[in-house]
Structure 1
């Protein structure tokens, strides 16, 4: 298949566990990077952090294109870089801040900006502590700001600039956002910032269009972002590759807009029903093929094969593969 078949498209990779979905995803993003594309990979299991190494211990062909960003370590951002709109979305959708408290937060943001010349997380915490607020509003804001501080993702003294990081790699790049070390709500905070910031950078022409690989996105993507990701964000230059072993966690409307589907083995009837009714070919045919697929084989459906479904075997890779299931008896011969 051609790399252009994924460009500007919505691609979905799905199948039950241990059939080869992540393996295929790694082949796709490393190949795209080698062809000059840039890929943001949201990595919740630490599966993509080893792509710079081969299995023999040598550096891989994408080693100079592979950057791992770990929130709270080498990936920290300032409050002003995030901006008021993104912070409000985090407070509203992720931390469930009441509307009354949000209105006070907007006022305090402006107050801190006027007094200090810039907005910092510590400045906001101090302002909440000093301001004349109803006790319930003060508690609501203070608890949530301290939650943001606890993530260690916000650093007003030594932040990175996302556009500089992305543009530091000239000819293709894989930017792995390592979400494996942070809490579930911390993941959602980072992704909220990331999608908002990428949208702004693309609209302003500060970065080139890119691919966004998201495994099990329902674990960190708020529901209202699904249609936004597929419509508005795709229009400005974010092209999603969604990977899941739970097909019903992706809204049916998203499947209907999918340009390409890589379907691995499924034996569960409800999963097969969900997938087959959104495919562009006969649903009974999809079910029969999917049930019979051996590991590391998938059914390719969509524009990449001109709507003529093809079963393919996924090739091996010499790269260091992390993320395989660790077994109790895995070391026994």
Structure 2
């Protein structure tokens, strides 16, 4: 079935260039009215210009679509609120939020300043928080919403020189995991996209011919599946150069060590059972871990009662 966004309103942050631009154009081609958000800064977050976002708006209008631009700095909640208020005034709803805006300040942890660490966290983490907060009550009242976080393999697996970026990209997954639980009753689905694409964020990191292979459009094809009506929930989709995969966090079944025997030596002695993957599961809430450990303790107590 063809995915359509006709009649829906989408906000795409960082949509003046790269992935965000590709996302905005694709949503518009499939019928969405699009808010093209971009501060218009450089890759490191410096400067500001509306030229890039306005060009995307004009491209959407030229294809017969509807779009407006807004230069909100996603790290500034007041500016984000103004963007959402303008969106509501024009179209009366917000169905989709693509949290795509980001910057890089790459350096080894030894050489990185705390200001560079904080700035990357502010844009990626608080930017996602601010934009999501600004549309959350709207989506709850509509009883419908689709939100896409942008994570990264740098966060899930690490990447030299990106301690700030990696920390931020794991943080948005923590945000997603809790919002999934809180938004479920109001039909709000939150998913995450882990892209590998040739954009100005990565152009210095890969040869030109490789950059061309990693076209943003390949990632956008995956993104569209995360924000349509039939979208999954709490899904991490990895995409790049025509490759698509999913990432998940699993927890092993583990072991139980009774109180009288708990020691670091006992933990080490049970390492094989602690790390055995045969019964691992993807937990759906933090409470499930506690429940698992309680059940193990109760089973041990029951076995002691029976044996005595």
Into which bin does the TM-score normalised by the smaller protein fall?
Answer: 0.3 to 0.5
Scaled by the length of structure 2, the TM-score of the pair is 0.34
